């Protein structure tokens, strides 16, 4: 069964600044837009807009703390993202194996020697240095 991909989630994660913000929130716990803007090369207003996107995607939750809002990563939602990424990767691995088998079968039927196929860019055995 194909993985269900949450486009809003991946759109939110797709931005490098938002990924950096998630890293900071994951490493340092809850934080405010002001505190994040002191650690990142963008304004507080830009941080607030990025936090709104992350909040809509469910990746962070904000709670009022005095005059500011403290944001925290939603660990369950982040786990969902990791599971989706794993499912997508597994699906591509299966597709690449089918393509390789088809290429090997074409090669076999054409009478070429086995092993003539050069390793592809995703062939782990070809890119791993020998012991």
- Establish if 16 belongs to a structural domain: yes
Domain that holds residue 39: 1-113
What pLDDT score was predicted for residue 1?
44
Whether pTM > 0.95 for this model: the answer is no
pLDDT at 57 over 80: yes
What pLDDT score was predicted for residue 54?
96
Q: Please say whether the beta carbons of 72 and 30 come within 8 A.
A: yes
Q: Please say whether the beta carbons of 59 and 40 come within 8 A.
A: no
126 vs 17, residue with greater confidence: 17
What pLDDT score was predicted for residue 113?
64
**CA distance linking residue 73 with residue 102, whole number of Å:** 44
Number of structural domains in the chain = 1
SS3 of residue 58 by DSSP: coil
**CA distance linking residue 45 with residue 20, whole number of Å:** 16
Q: What is the CATH number of the domain that holds 70?
A: 1.10.10.10
């Amino acid at each position: 069964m194909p993985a269900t991909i949450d486009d809003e989630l991946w759109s939110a994660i797709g931005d490098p600044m938002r990924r950096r913000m998630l890293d900071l929130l994951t490493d340092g716990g809850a934080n405010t837009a002001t505190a994040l803007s002191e650690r990142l090369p963008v304004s507080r207003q830009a941080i607030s807009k990025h936090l709104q996107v992350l909040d809509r995607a469910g990746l962070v939750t904000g709670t009022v703390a005095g005059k500011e809002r403290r944001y925290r990563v939603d660990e369950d939602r982040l786990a969902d993202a990791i599971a989706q990424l794993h499912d997508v990767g597994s699906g591509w691995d299966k597709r690449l194996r089918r393509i390789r088998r088809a290429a090997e079968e074409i090669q076999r039927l054409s009478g070429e020697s086995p092993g003539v196929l050069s390793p592809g860019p995703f062939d782990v055995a070809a890119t791993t240095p020998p012991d």
